[in-house]
């Protein structure tokens, strides 16, 4: 069964005379290769890889900041870091991991894979695509530069709640630079989101209906809507803080009639959906990994699509669960608590569909598959502690404790990062034409998974016992467990180093991959495994025409 059919020669509505592409006016400009060629590139594959490279570099810094945090916390009365610098490390660890690592990495996979998966030659707006990527450089640059200004980098947490983020408590330009960096990263997200929606809506190959798109494309479509509606609100909120700091306004100053809690509403209106912005495309990646290495198609495709849409919609109705202790009314608590638990339903649909995808399949335990299965296990732990936290009495008890830190790291590391690993091992052969070493991959997986659990599982324990987050020292009784946590960090760091080594050493080897390096296209019959690895410029000689059969397999 072939994916493609020969287009009908006449009589069909789809047949049009081939447009004559005139000589491009840009042909006159010959771009040099190397760095200058990269600077001017508008190719979605080049930009996708740039996003991924930036994310990897960002992960080194974000990981180093986490290392500083763990070094400080490795004994209860440590003074390796000053309290101010500890706050800065907490803030920058979160900001870098969110805005420079996870979101760009998922955008990188989206950029690379979405046009190929829908049978297009590029994104709808290739120049805008380049703009979205390059905006992240000054965003990261501003964050980096803020380390060298008087007063140091921002230390008000990535949430930047006023009044902590206002001038009285955060003097120095750090917070202002952080806000401006968030603006640039936000603009990058918004322009990227517009690009993804237009690409997916308008540029699908003939025959690819919405319900035939690979799941990863669906997750990015929903993701782009979340970005488009949520990110401007974050920009609005942090702009208000910027104005309160520098221009005398009173948005969040009670003395002028302002209300700091309103900031939390605006901030979480973006930042709860941001959790899904950071995990939905990872859902897509592991769906493909699970199907590929079970030699099956994705189970329950339609249900999966609706579950992703439902998660996207519900994601905008639950932000108040971050504010149960901020003094919101009982009715609001009830609503946000209930809606948060409702999200567990579509998430459950996804988990069971993933398990059913693997069920009865011919399972190959490749590194990608291990990470995908690890994703399911760890994400379920994070999801269940999330349902606990949705209960107001429990949340009031453990709010701002390490229990919450444990919860969202199981979601973000166990979810997003494991998904990114699974996606990298699955698609690296397609992107580079080379396999990643499976033996090293095995070590990366076990080191990372054991390290991840050693780090974050004990945090539940100290959290329930009352260890507060964002405080540089703690009670002596928590020291033993914190030593274990810091040791877990070392395992994760080792896994990260090994992973980077594995990528570099693979890139130095010759290309060996064919179109279908994992040998699954006879089952899945999808576009991505039908073109060479790496794909040629513009992906397709002619735009493919899809037959009736679905391409939801991979």
Partner 1 sequence: MSLYSAPDAHHAPDADVHHDIDAHHDVEYLPSLNPAPSYWPVLLTATMTLIPAGIVLYLWGGDSLRLLAWGLLGLGSLTSLVPVMGWCHSVIVDKWAGHFGEAAQGRDLVLGTKLFFLSEIAIFGSIFAYFFATLRHIHLDAGKFWPLDGSPAHWHVGLPAIGLGILLTSSVTCEVAHKMLLKGNKSACKDWMLVTIVLGLIFLAIQGYEWGVFVERGFTVESNVFGTVFYVLTGFHGFHVMTGLIMLLLVYGRLEIGHFSKRRHFSMQAASWYWHLVDVVWVFVFVFVYALYDAY
Q: Which residues bind Cu ion (CB under 5 A)?
A: 272
With CB under 5 to 8 Å by kind, the binding choice for 272 among partner 1, Cu ion, none is Cu ion
Residue 382, C-beta contacts closer than 8 angstroms, at least 6 positions apart: 407, 408, 409, 410, 411, 414, 415
* Cα 443 to chain centroid, rounded: 23
With CB under 5 to 8 Å by kind, the binding choice for 16 among partner 1, Cu ion, none is partner 1
With CB under 5 to 8 Å by kind, the binding choice for 148 among Cu ion, partner 1, none is none
Kindly state the smallest distance separating residue 503's Cβ from Cu ion, in Å. 32
234 vs 493 by CB, closer to Cu ion: 234
Find residue 468's DSSP bridge partners. Answer: 401
Give phi and psi for 468, each to the nearest 5.
-85, 145
Helix (H, G, I), strand (E, B) or coil at 4: strand
126 vs 466 by CB, closer to partner 1: 126
In whole angstroms, give the CA distance from residue 348 to residue 355.
11
With CB under 5 to 8 Å by kind, the binding choice for 491 among partner 1, Cu ion, none is none
With CB under 5 to 8 Å by kind, the binding choice for 303 among partner 1, Cu ion, none is none
The residue of the chain with the least Cβ separation from Cu ion equals: 272
Kindly state the smallest distance separating residue 498's Cβ from partner 1, in Å. 24
With CB under 5 to 8 Å by kind, the binding choice for 370 among partner 1, Cu ion, none is none
DSSP 417: I
**Exposure b/e, 509-520, CB count within 10 A at least 16 = b:** eeeebeebbbeb
Q: Please provide the DSSP assignment of 41-99 as one string.
A: ---HHHHHHHHHHHHHHHHHHHHHHHHHHHHHTTSTT--SS-HHHHHHHHHHHHHIIII
437 vs 516 by CB, closer to partner 1: 516
Kindly state the smallest distance separating residue 340's Cβ from Cu ion, in Å. 7
Kindly state the smallest distance separating residue 350's Cβ from partner 1, in Å. 27
93 vs 272 by CB, closer to Cu ion: 272
With CB under 5 to 8 Å by kind, the binding choice for 67 among partner 1, Cu ion, none is none
Kindly state the smallest distance separating residue 318's Cβ from partner 1, in Å. 16
Kindly state the smallest distance separating residue 229's Cβ from partner 1, in Å. 5
Q: Please provide the DSSP assignment of 453-492 as one string.
A: HHHHHHHHHHHHHTPBTT-S---GGGHHHHHHHHHHHHHH
Kindly state the smallest distance separating residue 23's Cβ from partner 1, in Å. 8
Three-class HEC string of 236-297: HHHHHHHHHHHCCCCCCCHHHCCCHHHHHHHHHHHHHHHHHHHHHHHHHHHHHHHHHHCCCC
With CB under 5 to 8 Å by kind, the binding choice for 177 among Cu ion, partner 1, none is partner 1
Kindly state the smallest distance separating residue 339's Cβ from partner 1, in Å. 18
475 vs 515 by CB, closer to partner 1: 515
Residue 33, C-beta contacts closer than 8 angstroms, at least 6 positions apart: none
70 vs 272 by CB, closer to Cu ion: 272
* Site of tokens 């025409």: 545
123 vs 467 by CB, closer to partner 1: 123
11 vs 327 by CB, closer to Cu ion: 327
């Amino acid at each position: 069964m072939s994916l493609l059919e020969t287009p009908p020669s006449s009589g069909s509505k789809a047949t049009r005379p081939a447009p004559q592409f005139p000589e491009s006016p840009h042909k006159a400009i010959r771009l040099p290769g190397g760095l200058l060629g990269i600077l001017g590139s508008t190719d979605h594959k080049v930009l996708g890889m740039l996003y991924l490279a930036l994310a990897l570099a960002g992960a080194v810094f974000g990981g180093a900041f986490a290392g500083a945090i763990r070094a400080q916390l490795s004994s209860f009365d440590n003074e390796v870091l000053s309290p101010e610098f500890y706050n800065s490390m907490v803030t920058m660890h979160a900001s870098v991991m969110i805005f420079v690592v996870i979101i760009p990495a998922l955008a990188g996979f989206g950029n690379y894979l979405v046009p190929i998966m829908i049978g297009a030659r590029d994104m709808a707006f290739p120049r805008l695509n380049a703009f979205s990527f390059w905006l992240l450089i000054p965003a990261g640059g501003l964050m980096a530069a803020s380390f060298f200004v008087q007063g140091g980098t921002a230390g008000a947490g990535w949430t930047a709640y006023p009044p902590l983020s206002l001038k009285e408590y955060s003097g120095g330009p750090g917070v202002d630079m952080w806000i401006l960096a968030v603006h640039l990263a936000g603009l990058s997200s918004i322009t990227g989101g517009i690009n993804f929606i237009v690409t997916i809506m308008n540029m699908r190959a003939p025959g690819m209906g919405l319900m035939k798109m690979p799941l990863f494309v669906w997750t990015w479509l929903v993701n782009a809507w979340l970005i488009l509606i949520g990110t401007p609100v974050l920009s609005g909120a942090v702009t208000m803080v910027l104005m309160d700091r520098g221009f005398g306004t009173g948005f969040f100053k009670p003395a002028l009639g302002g209300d700091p809690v309103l900031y939390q509403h605006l901030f979480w209106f973006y930042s709860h959906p941001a959790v899904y912005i950071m995990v939905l495309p990872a859902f897509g990646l592991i769906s493909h990994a699970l199907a590929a290495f079970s030699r099956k198609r994705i189970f329950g495709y339609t249900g999966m699509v609706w579950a992703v849409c439902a998660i996207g919609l519900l994601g905008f109705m639950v932000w108040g669960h971050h504010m149960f202790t901020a003094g919101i009314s009982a009715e609001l608590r009830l609503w946000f608590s209930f809606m948060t638990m409702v999200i567990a339903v579509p998430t459950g649909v996804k988990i069971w569909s993933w398990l059913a995808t693997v069920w009865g399949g011919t399972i190959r335990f490749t590194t990608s598959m291990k990470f995908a299965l690890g994703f399911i296990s760890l994400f379920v732990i994070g999801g269940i502690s999330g349902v606990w936290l949705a209960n107001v009495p429990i949340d009031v008890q453990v709010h701002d404790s390490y229990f919450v830190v444990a919860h969202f790291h199981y979601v973000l590391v166990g979810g997003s990062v494991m998904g990114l690993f699974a996606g990298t091992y699955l698609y690296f052969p397609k992107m580079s034409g080379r396999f990643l070493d499976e033996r090293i991959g095995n070590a990366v997986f076990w080191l990372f998974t054991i390290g991840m659990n050693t780090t974050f599982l004990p945090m539940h324990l100290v959290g329930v016992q009352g260890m507060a987050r964002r405080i540089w020292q703690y009670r002596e009784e928590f020291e033993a467990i914190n030593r274990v946590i810091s040791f877990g960090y070392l395992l994760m760091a080792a896994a990260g180093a090994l992973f980077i080594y594995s990528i570099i050493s693979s890139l130095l080897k010759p290309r060996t991959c064919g179109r279908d390096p994992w040998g699954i296209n006879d089952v899945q019959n999808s576009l991505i495994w039908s073109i060479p690895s790496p794909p040629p410029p513009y992906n397709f000689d002619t735009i493919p025409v899809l037959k009736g059969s679905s391409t939801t397999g991979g």
